[in-house]
Amino acid sequence: MKELRGLRAVVTGGAGFLGATLCAALAARGAKVVAIDAMLPGTGANRANLDGVDATLVEADLRTAELAPLLAGADAIFHLAAHTSHMGSQADPRHDLAENADATLRLILAARAAAPKARVVYASTRQLYGRPRTLPVAEHHPVDPPDANAVSKWAAEQYWLLETKVHGRPVVSLRLTNCYGPRLRIADARQTFLGLWIRRVLEGEAFEVWGGEQRRDLAYGEDVAEAFIAALDAPPGVYNVGGSPDVSLRDLADLLVRANDGAGAFRVVPFPPERAKIDIGSYIADDRAFRSATGWAPAVSLEDGLRRTLAWFRPRLARYVRPEEGST
């Protein structure tokens, strides 16, 4: 484990799935961690995510809060706070833009004043590429956002990259694939389809698989946290981060049921028309550049990750089925 004792780290979105997983990994290495989260209903934020984690949670909205005091003296800023709902972005693109692009710009301006030497790692998304023209997808693939959420995330990424080009700040943007694991929002499908699948399996209900033939290379949350930490030593720029070997969604559903000791059922159905318009089809990341730059590689297999995830949620299900109750 990379020793981080004495590192002052700020994690935005720190009460969310990946944010809290990262806070736990940073704190375990001795870093002093401040987690900033607006704790907005309907997001991945849940106070339960930080149970047992040595991090200071500050409830603050990046769109309105005075951010400079929260960033003062930071050595590293991990920017994970974001609006992630694809259908939500289509329904209210101005809200999506405010949460992603405007909030990011406010954070950047505050960091210039309060933490000018901090390294930055930004959580970007493979959604920027749109429907892949070739597989696997490397960083030079054209950017072709398929929905409003990808547009706002693209804008936020570009604002951060300008900090390197113009101001010399080391910024790494990680374009993530589908992520899963403990702390994932499972109340619904706002964060990822797999969250709702996990809930249905644990509650003994059937779940729907839309399409079924699309392929994904899913990344386990703890592996992703390790990628964020490894990115502190990577040359500035954009990197893809993938996960386990790719699998079809139909086979993924089979693996999830198998990981639940064979208990569970699903049905394959056509895509709802409104979702079909923004679906990107199959996606497999070419993340050789990041692996080469850092030595990082995922450590948890898909089968093991699914088993660990289900085992983690079983005794905690009530706090995650109604996450807003756990956020108050």
pTM (two decimals)? 0.94
Residues 6+ apart with CB under 8 A from 180: 192, 194, 195, 198, 218, 219, 220, 221, 305, 306, 309
Residue with tokens 């996450």: 323
Low-confidence ranges of the chain (pLDDT < 70): 1, 84-89, 323-328
H-assigned helices in 204-287: 221-230, 249-259, 273-276
The confidence score (pLDDT) of residue 270 equals 87
| Domain ranges within the chain, ordered by starting residue | 8-327
CATH classification of 8-327, choosing from 3.40.50.2020, 3.40.50.720, 3.40.50.2300, 1.10.10.1800? 3.40.50.720
The confidence score (pLDDT) of residue 328 equals 39
H-assigned helices in the chain: 17-28, 68-71, 86-91, 93-97, 103-114, 148-167, 193-203, 221-230, 249-259, 273-276, 288-294, 302-313, 317-321
The confidence score (pLDDT) of residue 274 equals 75
The confidence score (pLDDT) of residue 86 equals 60
The confidence score (pLDDT) of residue 85 equals 65
The confidence score (pLDDT) of residue 327 equals 46
